[in-house]
Chain A
């Protein structure tokens, strides 16, 4: 049983290596290689889940410098890992199948599948990691694979720029993450999760250091899960092919941040103000992203902002001491968001790369299967009762309610907005008449459902997003204790142990949630049904609160200015003054001494004589 986690981890790596080294010439081979890898990983995960909830752990040495430093590559499988493994390999497999069709005629196909396998390897690495450094290693590897996948069509200038932006923003997050690791290691002398948990006393002794380390580690999550300050890269990441957006920017990679926060919750729990900061950022992201999403016209951007908003929910849940509900929401969200993205991909594929929702319309009739699955996904996302989203979002709202009104009401408002913008999308894209480019005449051939390899994954995901919320399904996977924690608050008792106490059940919260759903859906329905053009224009939201422009001016601008100042400084001050200065000095003295060559003999004789006189005078004094 020990070898299963290693098999899961290493098979995608093997396929990525084979593709990079020699399979990249033949496209079919590389596709089948990466598909086989992801299916073996899925199989191994299912076998692992079937084998019952015991935790496994095994590690090999990476760097071992005497007693001082012991870094290992180790795998740890417990309830939390099982959830993520299922999500990653499940959705990974579906996306692989889906992209065999979606990327059929792309000439960089082998490179695409190579980087997809590389991504699977690094994502599984994060999920299975057992120490801070190992999770950091795969953190950056995931960053690189998202760079490769976003920049897949690198000939497009915008795709290359988006890939760079994604990698750099992640890198800023990783900077915080690494400083957090260093702080934790400096205080506790250990890097493994269990080892750090054991000597938590050393950290809790110094609360200021603990908060600083916690916030630094949270920095990593902010970077990866695109929370407010570092969220700018996710919407641009839509430049990548749609399966990539579905897999990476909806279900798995962005969830890595939330998973890391849940995994390290024992570190965050003891410092209340770290938790409030996390909750605050979560709430702000949720609200901001929801507002922005209401005004976007590109179908993938709307889903991107919706992902941002849901991630805000999960981080807020962690902040409100409910890691269980955050993970539960992550679990359900992965399914219906992947479904929505793949649905959007089917629409784009059907309409020959048309992404603007106002140029769609009446797809209900022309793409029935896609419409059905998309509708289910939307309902699940917006929290329609008895669907997956409802249960997990309700748990988070409960935790937020428990935390305080300042956190509960913004989340409730973003729940309303979620319903609003999703219904807007569905109404505009799928209902109403087909879009006439010239307003009359025969509409261009208006979309068609994709082949089986596209629609089957959609159906599977639709089923999953319906049943994911129920206990009978979640429990065997979660293991009883994790499902129980999904609805409870975690508090860090004085004795240094994490306890899960049931959140006080307030009947008001579910009702408010349903009210939010109804309000949002009806509002959007009335506002948008039958409109050819967007009736309400709010430039502030449409331009994403001008954050991008602010960043471009502030950070990029100041960096360019700083760079050119230092370049000028280097060229003229150090190079000029120091180097040319000394060279000039020597040249100057040379020039001055040259004047001694008078040219006439008398001058020389005089200098001899004067020299002798001075010498005599000095000697005789």
Chain B
């Protein structure tokens, strides 16, 4: 994947991320989130992780964001009116994320492996889905089953939580 594409998608992703954070209107931020997911999927494709890219688009952009939008519609949220913001939280939050970024740069500078280019693959056509499936159902079969159970539990939880008490 050419560096130009990488930078384009990365900047686009960060822009969408920033708009999620800064946007007043929840629907707008939800949609910009979708945008950032799609750019991310593109990056995955750049990294030859096609199955994950598709899953990303399918699950995240498709299911999760839909759920978000559905909830936003259900709760009929208006754009937030300006509340007095308390400066301490602002400074605190900015400081912590700034610290993360500074730390990240510091680490990357001294990370030897980071500066090597990606080794190219031994095989030119990568049937990615079969390989992921193979790894998933052989080495990670137990975690796979537990995740299945987790999802079941989550759905039951959701049903219980959102049941309206029968007055």
> CA separation between A603 and B97, bound complex, in Å?
14
B89 touches A602 (CB 8 A): yes
Is residue B150 contacting chain A, with contact meaning CB distance below 8 A?
no
> CA separation between A360 and B100, bound complex, in Å?
112
Give chain B residues whose Cβ lies under 8 Å from the Cβ of A613: 96, 99-100, 103
> CA separation between A605 and B92, bound complex, in Å?
10
Give chain A residues whose Cβ lies under 8 Å from the Cβ of B92: 602, 606, 610
Is residue B148 contacting chain A, with contact meaning CB distance below 8 A?
no
Q: How many A-B residue pairs have CB under 8 A?
A: 25
Q: Which of B80-129 contact A (CB under 8 A)?
A: 89, 92-93, 96-97, 99-100, 103, 106-107
> CA separation between A26 and B166, bound complex, in Å?
86
Interface centre among B92, B97, B100, B107 (most CB of A within 10 A): B92
Q: Which of B36-62 contact A (CB under 8 A)?
A: none
> CA separation between A606 and B107, bound complex, in Å?
22
> CA separation between A610 and B52, bound complex, in Å?
32
- Interface SS of chain A: helix
B96 touches A610 (CB 8 A): yes
Q: Which one of B93, B97, B103 contacts A616 once the chains associate, using CB atoms below 8 Å? A: B103
Give chain B residues whose Cβ lies under 8 Å from the Cβ of A605: 93
Min CB distance A525 to B, Å, is 108
Count class of interface residues, chain A: 10 to 19
Give chain A residues whose Cβ lies under 8 Å from the Cβ of B107: 620
Min CB distance A482 to B, Å, is 105
Min CB distance B107 to A, Å, is 8
A606 touches B93 (CB 8 A): yes
The count of chain B contact residues (Cβ–Cβ below 8 Å) is: 10
Is residue A609 contacting chain B, with contact meaning CB distance below 8 A?
yes
Min CB distance A366 to B, Å, is 108
Give chain A residues whose Cβ lies under 8 Å from the Cβ of B93: 602, 605-606, 609
Min CB distance A149 to B, Å, is 85
> CA separation between A610 and B100, bound complex, in Å?
10
B99 touches A606 (CB 8 A): no
Interface centre among B97, B99, B107 (most CB of A within 10 A): B99
Q: Which one of A603, A609, A617 contacts B96 once the chains associate, using CB atoms below 8 Å? A: A609
> CA separation between A606 and B92, bound complex, in Å?
7
B103 touches A606 (CB 8 A): no
> CA separation between A262 and B135, bound complex, in Å?
110
> CA separation between A605 and B89, bound complex, in Å?
10
Give chain B residues whose Cβ lies under 8 Å from the Cβ of A610: 92, 96
Give chain B residues whose Cβ lies under 8 Å from the Cβ of A616: 103
Give chain B residues whose Cβ lies under 8 Å from the Cβ of A609: 93, 96-97, 99-100
Q: Mark A591-621, 1 if CB is under 8 A from B, else 0.
A: 0000000000011011001100100110010
> CA separation between A605 and B96, bound complex, in Å?
10
> CA separation between A613 and B101, bound complex, in Å?
11
Residue of B nearest to A613 (CB): B99
Residue of A nearest to B93 (CB): A606
Min CB distance A70 to B, Å, is 81
Min CB distance A579 to B, Å, is 41
Min CB distance A612 to B, Å, is 8
B100 touches A606 (CB 8 A): no
> CA separation between A609 and B100, bound complex, in Å?
9
> CA separation between A605 and B94, bound complex, in Å?
12
> CA separation between A578 and B99, bound complex, in Å?
46
> CA separation between A606 and B89, bound complex, in Å?
8
Give chain A residues whose Cβ lies under 8 Å from the Cβ of B89: 602-603, 606
> CA separation between A603 and B96, bound complex, in Å?
12
Min CB distance A289 to B, Å, is 90
Residue of A nearest to B100 (CB): A613
Residue of A nearest to B98 (CB): A613
> CA separation between A94 and B141, bound complex, in Å?
111
Min CB distance A481 to B, Å, is 108
> CA separation between A70 and B100, bound complex, in Å?
85
Min CB distance A621 to B, Å, is 12
Give chain A residues whose Cβ lies under 8 Å from the Cβ of B99: 609, 613
Give chain A residues whose Cβ lies under 8 Å from the Cβ of B97: 609
Min CB distance A617 to B, Å, is 8
Min CB distance B106 to A, Å, is 8
Give chain B residues whose Cβ lies under 8 Å from the Cβ of A603: 89
Q: Which of A54-100 contact B (CB under 8 A)?
A: none
Residue of B nearest to A608 (CB): B96
Residue of B nearest to A614 (CB): B99
> CA separation between A2 and B96, bound complex, in Å?
103
Min CB distance A303 to B, Å, is 94
Give chain A residues whose Cβ lies under 8 Å from the Cβ of B103: 613, 616-617, 620
> CA separation between A348 and B92, bound complex, in Å?
100
> CA separation between A368 and B92, bound complex, in Å?
115
Q: Mark A556-569, 1 if CB is under 8 A from B, else 0.
A: 00000000000000
Residue of A nearest to B102 (CB): A613
> CA separation between A606 and B99, bound complex, in Å?
12
> CA separation between A610 and B106, bound complex, in Å?
18
Give chain B residues whose Cβ lies under 8 Å from the Cβ of A620: 103, 106-107
Taking beta carbons and an 8 Å cutoff, which residues of A are in contact with B? Answer: 602-603, 605-606, 609-610, 613, 616-617, 620
- A selection of 19 A-B contacts at a CB cut-off of 8 Å is A602-B89, A602-B92, A602-B93, A603-B89, A605-B93, A606-B89, A606-B92, A606-B93, A606-B96, A609-B93, A609-B96, A609-B97, A609-B99, A610-B96, A613-B96, A613-B103, A617-B103, A620-B106, A620-B107
Q: Which are the 8 A-B pairs with shortest beta-carbon distances?
A: A609-B96, A613-B99, A606-B92, A602-B89, A616-B103, A610-B96, A613-B96, A606-B96
8 more A-B residue pairs beyond the given contacts A602-B89, A606-B92, A609-B97, with a C-beta to C-beta distance below 8 A: A603-B89, A605-B93, A606-B89, A606-B96, A613-B96, A617-B103, A620-B103, A620-B107
